[in-house]
């Protein structure tokens, strides 16, 4: 933990008393060990979930911008018994257009704003139409 951040940072992030945490960092305060481990585990689980979700939306955003990758994604989805709806395409395009922010390690959560497709600009409408056309073309050719 000391390699990642200061004791003060961890005290604030894990919501622990700074003086007690100083003792724990030096290995002199064993009573806190279970509490610190539990809080670190909770923090790490939130960080991992934020990274996983952010990664998923980043991948979906990239997939919808490339015809071959998009059609491969749809094919895998169909092979697994799923389908892709217009709302899913819009959500993937929203992920493509949204700007990714860094994950705040002290309060980890996905750093994507709510993904809502805004079809107000011509470029976004064209991207949506491209994805629909790719899908229609693939369905028509079997």
Residue 111 counted as domain residue: yes
Counted domains in the chain: 1
Domain assignment present for residue 1? The answer is no
Cα dihedral angle (128, 131, 136, 137), rounded to 10 degrees? 140
31-62 CB burial, b ≥16 within 10 A, e <16: eeeeebeebeeebeeebeebeeebeebeebbe
Domain span at residue 132 reads: 7-140
**108-135 tens-digit pLDDT:** 666 555 666 676 778 778 888 888 888 8
Residue 93 to residue 124: CA distance in whole angstroms:
8
Residue 131 lies in a domain: yes
* In the predicted structure, residue 77 carries a pLDDT above the cut 70: yes
Domain presence at residue 76: yes
pLDDT in tens, 39-67: 889 988 988 888 888 888 888 888 888 88
2 domain residue, yes or no: no
């Amino acid at each position: 933990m000391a390699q990642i951040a200061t004791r003060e940072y961890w005290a604030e992030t894990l919501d622990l008393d700074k003086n007690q945490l100083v003792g724990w960092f030096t290995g002199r305060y064993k009573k806190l060990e279970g509490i610190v481990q539990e809080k670190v585990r909770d923090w790490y689980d939130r960080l991992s979930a934020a990274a996983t979700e952010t990664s998923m939306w980043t991948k979906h955003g990239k997939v919808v911008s490339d015809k071959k990758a998009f059609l491969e994604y749809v094919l895998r989805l169909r092979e697994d018994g799923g389908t892709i709806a217009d709302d899913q395409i819009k959500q993937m395009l929203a992920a493509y257009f949204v700007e990714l922010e860094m994950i705040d390690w002290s309060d980890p959560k996905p750093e994507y704003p709510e993904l809502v497709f805004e079809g107000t600009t011509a470029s976004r409408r064209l991207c949506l139409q491209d994805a629909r056309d790719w899908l229609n073309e693939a369905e028509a050719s079997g």
